[in-house]
Structure 1
């Protein structure tokens, strides 16, 4: 019985292998885009924020920014696309920053 379960589990893993990739079908990094790719996680930050219902609290968004090396985080608020936006310092410069619903962190274009 154990070998049957092991065989079924192995087959399921092998069949689902491509689903574990960190890119989408069009080759974009999983961090990019506005579609929910909750299973396809990546350590890369997307170049632009993904719009979507953001469940991060203000403190969680601030913590994400600080883990990316930002300090003096201020003015955090959610915009009309549910993206946390604010100001923060890094490398001696103050920038407009964002945190999307996927936890991506970025600097707004200057």
Structure 2
């Protein structure tokens, strides 16, 4: 009886480990993964922003915005300014994660 319980417990542990390793989260955002690409998000994240003005301008340019101007850091740590994309003038923002917002 003890042997049967031991075998069943071992099988259960092996099966649960396999399930945990194959689980995926489609579309999950993992902020621990560093990339140099600027993501476009709906709302900027509040937090201490360590980007300099020239780095923020470079990030926005790399994201496809031209004529970036009037960049200032707001009270939430978000770089905000004006830029042109696809021939239209838009308000842009860059948060501490490097994510871009436009409206």
**With structure 1 as the length reference, what TM-score do the two structures score?**
0.62
Aligned residues: 81
- Say yes or no: does 1:81 pair with 2:76: yes
Helix, strand or coil at the partner of 2:58: helix
Distance in 2 (CA, whole Å) between partners of 1:61 and 1:103 is 8
The corresponding residue for 1:62 is: 57
Deviations 1:5-28 (A, max 9, x none): xxxxxxxxxxxx79xx672xxxxx
User: Unpaired segments of 5 or more residues in structure 2?
Assistant: 1-20
Larger RCO: 1 or 2 (CA < 8 Å, sep 6+): 2
Note the C-alpha offset of 1:49: 0.2
**With structure 2 as the length reference, what TM-score do the two structures score?**
0.66
Larger radius of gyration: 2
Superposition pairs of residues 11-26 of structure 1, within 5 angstroms: 23=28
